[in-house]
Chains A and B, each alone.
Chain A
Amino acid sequence: MAQGVTITYWQYEFRSKVEAINELIRRFEAQNPGIKVVHQTFPYDAFQQKVAAAIPAGQGPDVVNLYYGWAPTWVKAGYLVPLPDDWMRRLDQDFVAMAQAAKVGGKLYGVPTAVRSLALFYNKDLFRQAGIAGPPKTWEEFIAVGQKLTVKQGGRFTQIGYGIAPDGQDHHLVREVLVRQFGGKPYSDDGKRVLYQGEAGLKALSFYTDWVRKHEIGIPGFFPGNNGYRDGFIAGRIAMIIDGSFAIGTIQQGARFNWGVAELPLERPGGRKANFGSFWMHGLTPLATGPKREAALRFLAFITSEETQRYWLEKVGELPASKNLIRDPKLSLHPIYGPFVLSLAYAKATPFVDEAAQRKVMVDAINRVLLQGMDPAQSLRLAAEEEQKILDQFWR
């Protein structure tokens, strides 16, 4: 083991995560005298800009935290290097299914500490006032509940049943959840072909947009602000939203009513289960050369170990990525974490290659229907064409 190596770790600034990593570094350095880890953090909104500029200049992180969806773009542009092949075995054996999305072109580029998925957040007080027993288990119940809880006064909504947000989590909902629940697949297994323009996809988009156009259980842009759907829920004006486990902290801090979490509704009782899983992972950059590489790999292994994941859950409140830890009954029975944990068994992470562009494709597909009244079939066809072009260009 080389003497006196310093490696740099970058992540975005979030208080509990910063404190957690600082503590983990302390423990790691104690166990690995001779390795020093420098921890630098940057604003979430500008994180990619930092990395984009730093690595080409040779002055940046050796280990970097990144959203899994960015990996293919980063790999193609030379910002990440593959992890040793034996790491893949560990990933396949020990980590939840969605972690497979950390592989690009057959090689592994990162490992997560924690994972997230989607669930239904609902306002228990509003439910009780309207005499609704519990969260909806099927989409039919969901629409009925939504209609009951939507209040329109003189042409304007003052409360809506569901927080429609195409640019929130709803594009994931359509692409990854509804398409699968209705029997289809959004992409081919190798991720290179768009499949959602088929029957299941059309059903998914029509079904979702009908929530606005036919059943009127919500409207886009109801509550102001960047994450208006979540803010509106916290304000008690939106009865249900579909959001990620990363929203738990904010909702806990802001909501002044009783709220609950439930697994996403199904097409029918016993129907197909689907969920969108995502994660932030730690990757290795081309700057980690020579003795730094060995040190970086050690650090990487340390911050993704089961022990770290347990600490992370406690300190940051994010669900562990390990298959083992997920089986803990304390977690799956937890009133808030439970529904998320249960979904991790079947949650899939969309294999984005150009996350920013692909996200926009689906958001636009939905908006063309909701804002311009376009026929869902036509909108979906346009989207599929656009996205196929993006995929083709990447895999060229």
Chain B
Amino acid sequence: MRLTLAWREALWAFVFLAIPLAFFLYFRILPAFQALWLSLYEWHADPSQRRFVGLEHYARLLEDPVLRRALFNTLLYTLLGIPSQIALGLVIALLLQRVPFGRDFFRAIYFAPYVTPAVAVAWVWSWMLSPHFGLVNELLALLGIPPQPFLQSPSQALPTVTWVVVWQNLGFQVVLFLAGLESIPRQYYEAARIDGAEGWRLFRHITWPLLNPVLVFSVVIGTIGYLQLFTQVVNLNFTDQGGPLNSTLTLALYIYQLAFLRFQLGYAATVTVLLFALILLITLVQLKLLTRRVEL
């Protein structure tokens, strides 16, 4: 049987994807199904004693004020965090490309927070943001601004946590954009310069369009990350997890509390189903709206 070119290509595609797909199916998709399936049961350590409860947990979802708060917070983190992280990351990456000297030094500095362990980050920032002893309030005092409660306040806690997350993720974002910027072949810039373009026009017509794939990646992956925000939220208000009056609680943290502190895995699985659906929907919409094919 003679295989057409298209068939050959498709065949090779499946050969290349065989191991990765098998891996994902066995180690991620199957366990995910098993976990989500638990949402129909009352959890018990002994599988034979897990009672089938149908949609009971889903009914509880609808009446749970803590869940509503967690959902609201999670969306708010994403709306605040993604634009900030991407804008700041891009600006810094562009600046790093243009700095006259000390490039390695600056790259290391901007990357340092990303590699610092989460507990250390949380400890240092909770000191810096302390209403009475923190450096930030000392600086604000110099500007005549009264001391702010930051992490202690139900209204300020969430934006404060968002700031720490953005601060920590900048290293990631900058490295990503640098890789994207350096992947743009210099010939394109040279060709454009020959045509008389420079500065802003170069950015608009070469850099920005060619950064699109990295931008799409950043937004999609970033959103998936923010929607599952957990570590910094836990560490910044460790003894009152979820922040004062649940003001920083996220869906991922709520799931963790339900599953591992309250041993209610059935309900935790239900919240996970909700989170999964939310992430899938938002991701699909983003992919559709943001992706642009660039022809050169």
Q: A78-B45, A286-B45, A371-B244 are in contact. Are A156 and B154 (CB under 8 A)?
A: no
Q: Is the CB of B44 within 8 A of A78?
A: yes
Residues of A within 8 A of B127 (CB): 224-225
Asked if A59 lies at the interface with its beta carbon under 8 angstroms from chain B, I say no
**C-alpha gap A55/B260 in the complex (Å):** 13
Residues of A within 8 A of B133 (CB): 223-224
Q: Is the CB of B132 within 8 A of A222?
A: yes
Partner of B262, one of A73, A78, A227: A73
Q: Is the CB of B263 within 8 A of A223?
A: no
Partner of A225, one of B123, B146, B152, B257: B123
Least Cβ distance of B244 to chain A in Å?
5
**C-alpha gap A167/B262 in the complex (Å):** 18
**C-alpha gap A367/B153 in the complex (Å):** 10
Residues of B within 8 A of A168 (CB): 239
The main secondary structure of chain A at its interface with chain B is helix
Residues of B within 8 A of A77 (CB): 43-45, 263-264
Q: Is the CB of B46 within 8 A of A363?
A: no
**C-alpha gap A269/B103 in the complex (Å):** 71
Residues of A within 8 A of B245 (CB): 364, 367-368, 371-372
Residues of B within 8 A of A220 (CB): 152
Name the CB-closest residue of A to B240.
A167
Interface centre among B151, B152, B265 (most CB of A within 10 A): B152
Cβ contacts B146-158/A at 8 Å (1 or 0 each): 1101011110000
Name the CB-closest residue of B to A46.
B260
Residues of A within 8 A of B202 (CB): none
Residues of A within 8 A of B146 (CB): 155
Q: Is the CB of B47 within 8 A of A367?
A: no
Asked if B261 lies at the interface with its beta carbon under 8 angstroms from chain A, I say yes
Asked if B49 lies at the interface with its beta carbon under 8 angstroms from chain A, I say yes
Name the CB-closest residue of B to A356.
B261
Interface residues of A in 216-239 (CB under 8 A from B): 220-227
Q: Is the CB of B46 within 8 A of A78?
A: yes
Cβ contacts B34-47/A at 8 Å (1 or 0 each): 00000000011111
Q: Is the CB of B239 within 8 A of A167?
A: yes
Asked if B238 lies at the interface with its beta carbon under 8 angstroms from chain A, I say yes
Least Cβ distance of B38 to chain A in Å?
11
Cβ contacts A275-316/B at 8 Å (1 or 0 each): 000000000001000000000000000000000000000000
Q: Is the CB of B263 within 8 A of A74?
A: yes
Q: Is the CB of A224 within 8 A of B126?
A: yes
Q: Is the CB of A48 within 8 A of B261?
A: yes
Q: Is the CB of B134 within 8 A of A363?
A: no
Asked if A208 lies at the interface with its beta carbon under 8 angstroms from chain B, I say no
Q: A286-B45, A371-B152 are in contact. Are A363 and B260 (CB under 8 A)?
A: no
**C-alpha gap A364/B66 in the complex (Å):** 12
Q: A77-B43, A356-B261, A371-B152 are in contact. Are A227 and B132 (CB under 8 A)?
A: no
Q: Is the CB of B126 within 8 A of A225?
A: yes
User: How many residues of chain B get a CB closer than 8 Å to chain A's CBs?
Assistant: 37
Asked if A49 lies at the interface with its beta carbon under 8 angstroms from chain B, I say yes
Q: Is the CB of B45 within 8 A of A55?
A: yes
Asked if B173 lies at the interface with its beta carbon under 8 angstroms from chain A, I say no
Asked if B159 lies at the interface with its beta carbon under 8 angstroms from chain A, I say no
Q: Is the CB of A224 within 8 A of B239?
A: no
Least Cβ distance of A205 to chain B in Å?
16
Partner of B131, one of A78, A221, A286: A221
Asked if A79 lies at the interface with its beta carbon under 8 angstroms from chain B, I say yes
Residues of B within 8 A of A356 (CB): 257, 261-262
Asked if B211 lies at the interface with its beta carbon under 8 angstroms from chain A, I say no
Asked if A30 lies at the interface with its beta carbon under 8 angstroms from chain B, I say no
Q: A77-B45, A156-B147, A221-B131 are in contact. Are A371 and B153 (CB under 8 A)?
A: yes
Residues of A within 8 A of B264 (CB): 77
Q: Is the CB of B263 within 8 A of A224?
A: no
Cβ contacts A357-395/B at 8 Å (1 or 0 each): 100100110011001100000000000000000000000
Q: Is the CB of B132 within 8 A of A223?
A: yes
Least Cβ distance of B126 to chain A in Å?
5
Name the CB-closest residue of A to B128.
A224
**C-alpha gap A360/B238 in the complex (Å):** 13
Asked if B121 lies at the interface with its beta carbon under 8 angstroms from chain A, I say no
Name the CB-closest residue of B to A158.
B132
Q: Is the CB of A49 within 8 A of B260?
A: yes
Asked if A327 lies at the interface with its beta carbon under 8 angstroms from chain B, I say no
Q: A167-B239, A223-B132, A224-B133 are in contact. Are A56 and B45 (CB under 8 A)?
A: yes
Asked if B259 lies at the interface with its beta carbon under 8 angstroms from chain A, I say yes
Q: Is the CB of B263 within 8 A of A52?
A: yes
Q: Is the CB of B244 within 8 A of A73?
A: no
Which 5 pairs across A and B sit closest by C-beta, in order of nearness?
Answer: A224-B130, A78-B45, A221-B152, A167-B240, A77-B263
The chain B residues found within 8 Å of chain A, CB to CB, are: 43-47, 49, 123, 126-127, 129-134, 146-147, 149, 151-154, 238-240, 242, 244-246, 257, 259-265
Provide a sorted-by-A list of 12 A–B residue pairs whose CB atoms are within 8 angstroms: A49-B260, A156-B147, A221-B131, A224-B126, A224-B129, A226-B126, A226-B238, A226-B239, A368-B245, A371-B154, A371-B244, A372-B245
Given pairs A158-B132, A286-B45, A371-B244, 16 additional interface contacts (CB within 8 A): A52-B260, A56-B47, A73-B263, A78-B45, A79-B45, A156-B132, A220-B152, A222-B131, A222-B132, A224-B133, A226-B239, A227-B239, A356-B261, A356-B262, A367-B245, A371-B152
